[in-house]
A and B are shown apart, each in its own frame.
Chain A
């Protein structure tokens, strides 16, 4: 099994838009995670989410990697965009959509996908 850190990095590097959040798109457990999802949706982003709630180590490892203390965290093509506030601001200004157009093309998929990390329970 890959370590948690390796799994998190694989999602960040491998997914076009990765969102580390509390809950899932079907059951969002935090207002800020909801704001980030809505802002991404408005900008026409594909969204891959990871729920950080199942194990506190997910959030610890994630913040080690990103240097960002809070949840949610939004990454586009492996690059940290920010949390809910920045994602909202960039979406409202049109900058996020421009970035997505540049990085992923204007005819990108807008699928929503959920990735579950394997946590070592031993």
Chain B
């Protein structure tokens, strides 16, 4: 899976993201580092921020296209 495809899923789920980067950490298309800042996360606990991020990537997480996902989320407030 390409980093651009992950990015597209996150852009769909978080159209108002103020920061979004997806890095293919190993160059093998299955280990990703996602950094995401969105007003959608304002006031949410870290656990719930990650739940929202994971939900946007539910399909590739379920079918194994993402072997390892690292996420850093933050709000904008």
Please report A residues at the B interface, Cβ cutoff 8 Å: 30-32, 67-70, 80-86, 89-90
Contact = CB atoms under 8 A, between A and B. Distances in A.
B68 A80 contact: no
Contacts of A70: 54, 61, 69
Given A31-B68, A68-B51, A82 B46 contact: yes
A101 to B, nearest CB: 19
A91 to B, nearest CB: 12
Consensus secondary structure, chain A interface: mixed
Q: B interface, by DSSP: helix, strand, loop or mixed?
A: helix
Interface residues of B, number: 13
B54 A69 contact: yes
A85 B68 CA distance: 11
B1 interface: no
B45 to A, nearest CB: 9
A52 B69 CA distance: 17
Given A68-B54, A69-B61, A70-B61, A30 B47 contact: no
Contacts of B62: 69
Interface in B48-74: 50-51, 54, 58, 61-62, 68-72
Contact of B70 (A68, A80, A82, A84): A84
Nearest to B55: A69
Contacts of B69: 70
B58 A69 contact: yes
B71 A67 contact: no
